[in-house]
Structure 1
Amino acid sequence: MEKSITKKQVRIYGAGGHSQVIIEVLEANGFDIIETFDDKPKTAHYASKNVVIGARKDVKNFPHDGAPVIIAVGVNSERAEIAGFLKCNYEKAIHHSAIISDASSVGEGTVIFAGAIIQPNTTIGKHVIINTGASVDHDNKIGDFAHISPKVALCGHVEVGEGSHIGVGAVVIPKVKIGKWCIIGAGTIVLKDIPDYSVVVGNPGKIIKNIKPN
């Protein structure tokens, strides 16, 4: 008689479109998604099932203990806020086609999607999104809550600060440091260091405004 295989259990916080990609990765990796939470369950993605109210309105009575969680929210600031009030253990979601060097590290709650490449000696923080087909070269440092969008190319020794969003197809040359909570527009070519809270667009990338921190 064959033994039944016990699936690893995980919970999802967030029920928008971004969560659907994470769910597909988790299910392909043999996880059983046992609960889905959202702060606005009535506006959940049509493919989401059995969504229940999240912790925002009643943190005390939220089931913090139990299976680990992935915060499946695409907006960096919201992901950081949710991580601030949840008291849960966290899981990672890494697509089987992603290539990650054994000499690199990936923080808790981080998701890495199909075709992404992480080269040696790179450190990826907590609750980071490394999106489809992104290339993160050697000796990079990616801060917590950052989002590296599809087809981004980060060359060697690049630093991306906490909460920064690198837009689709952007390129960052070697040894450039991008500050925290920056927005780098789609297709931007970043040739020099970028200070905190900057919005950068163009080729070459230019700062067009600063974002006031909350």
Structure 2
Amino acid sequence: MTKHEKRVRIYGAGGHSHVIKDVLRQNGYVITDTFDDKPEGVHHASKHVNMGARAHLNDFPHQGDPVIIAVGINSDRAEIARILKCSYETAIHQSAIISESSSIGEGTVVFAGAIVQPNTVVGKHVIVNTGASIDHDNVIGDYAHISPKAALCGHVEVGEGSHIGVGAVVIPLVKIGKWCTIGAGTIVLNDVPNYATVVGNPGKIIKILNPKKREKL
């Protein structure tokens, strides 16, 4: 390895991690290690996977190259981020369009064709998936996931850990609470409270999870 190579470690060895690895390699990164909490049950294309931190926290090499948590489940990604004592890298695909006046938090991944418009703040360990569109003046909380082809209009807020499903649309000025689930193809016309699941066109709340139960998940 040369002195100026960019090096990164990946935590997670499922299909999601391979999308991230492609982005990193296109950007000139060398992936030095891959970790997973279940190394024996990972994606068929994953090789040489090391044991993750959740079962062996004291043995995990916290110090070293920066990490990207390549885990698709928001709650798992949040738990791993809380226990690791690592620095983090971001991964942004070369075809993504990111406004110079927006900001992208550490550990966040932005995939091919995604758009982040001016004055938007994207938090830590967020997934902005393939072809997602985040318009101006949005605030995206830590550990959220904006799925492929989802479209968030201007001045939208998405709370911590919330998942905006494939092809969902959120109209301007809507606030979505933390740890919500917005179903695929849902059209969100009104504010959404914390822990709610919303589906349909127009979107309707079908469930609100007790936060105490969610904390046990």
Percent of matched pairs sharing the same residue: 73
> Counterpart of 1:52?
50
**How far has the Cα of 1:211 moved from its partner?**
1.7
Corresponding residue of 2:177: 179
Separation in 2, partners of 1:49, 1:96: 26
* Matched length: 211
Give the C-alpha shift of residue 6 in structure 1: 3.6
Determine the C-alpha separation between the residues in 2 that align with 1:120 and 1:57. 41
Choose which of 11, 17, 20 in structure 2 pairs with 1:19: 17
Partner in structure 1 of residue 101 of structure 2: 103
Distance in 1, matches of 2:32 and 2:20, equals: 14
User: In the TM superposition, what whole-angstrom CA distance separates every residue of 1:156-206 from its partner, at most 9, and x where no partner exists?
Assistant: 000000000000000000000000000000000000000000000000000
Deviates more, 1:52-61 or 1:92-101: 52-61
Distance 1:211 1:56 in 2: 25
Residue 40 (structure 2) aligned to one of 33, 37, 42: 42
Q: Which amino acid aligns with 2:34?
A: T
Q: Secondary structure at the match of 1:200?
A: strand
- Partner-residue secondary structure (3-state), 1:9: strand
111, 114, 124: which one aligns with 1:113: 111
Backbone CA RMSD of aligned residues: 0.8
Counterpart CA distance in 2 for 1:46 and 1:192 is 42
State the distance in 2 between where 1:78 and 1:211 align.
Answer: 17
Shift of 1:212: 2.5
Mapped partners of 2:12, 2:210: distance in 1? 26
Q: Secondary structure at the match of 1:26?
A: helix
Report the secondary structure of 1:115's partner residue: coil
Q: Which runs of 5+ in 1 are unaligned?
A: none
Deviations 1:105-151 (A, max 9, x none): 00000000000000000000000000000000000000000000000
Listed as ranges, the matches of 1:155-194 within 5 Å are 155-194=153-192
Give the whole-Å Cα distance in 1 for the aligned partners of 2:46 and 2:56: 22
Q: Partner of 1:82: helix, strand, or coil?
A: helix
Report the counterpart of residue 32 of structure 1 in structure 2: 30
Tell me which residue corresponds to 1:195. Answer: 193
SS at 1:27 equivalent: helix
Query: TM-score, normalization: structure 2?
Result: 0.96
